[in-house]
């Protein structure tokens, strides 16, 4: 791993809140393109990820965080369709004449 990526990974592990590329560049005194390339390298290795802040106008702000490994295996997803369960036939409906006799 590149030394920049190792520094970023260590920094992200110690942080509780996600950080932006600008904050990382200011902290490490490294150019933002170098930070972005190291973060994309960490993302490809599934060590870091980002959340997009869409609460403001314009392009969403990406906040990066350390992706902690899961202790449990992923839960298998349920089938998309439910099996057909036959229902009992109804004796009468609300609009049936026998209901009002």
List, for residues 46-94, the tens digit of each pLDDT value.
899 999 888 778 888 889 999 887 778 777 777 667 666 667 666 655 6
Query: CA-to-CA distance for 47 and 44, rounded, in angstroms?
Result: 8
CA-only gyration radius of the chain, Å: 27
pLDDT given for residue 100 in this prediction = 58
Q: What are the chain's domains? A: 3-66 (1.10.10.10)
Give the bridge partners for 19, in sequence order.
64
Question: How much is the pLDDT for 19?
Answer: 94
Pick from 43, 68, 15, 53: nearest CA to 35:
43
90 vs 18, more confident: 18
> Could you give the C-alpha distances from 21 to 45, 48, 85, in angstroms and in order?
18, 13, 53
């Amino acid at each position: 791993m590149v030394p920049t990526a190792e520094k970023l990974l260590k920094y992200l592990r110690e942080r509780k809140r996600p950080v932006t590329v600008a904050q990382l560049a200011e902290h490490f005194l490294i150019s933002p393109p170098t930070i972005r390339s190291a973060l994309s390298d960490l993302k490809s290795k599934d060590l870091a990820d980002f959340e997009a802040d869409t609460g403001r106008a314009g392009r969403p702000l990406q906040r990066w965080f350390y992706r902690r490994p899961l202790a449990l295996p992923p839960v298998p997803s349920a089938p998309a369709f439910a099996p057909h369960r036959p229902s009992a036939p109804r004796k009468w409906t609300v609009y049936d004449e026998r209901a009002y006799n």
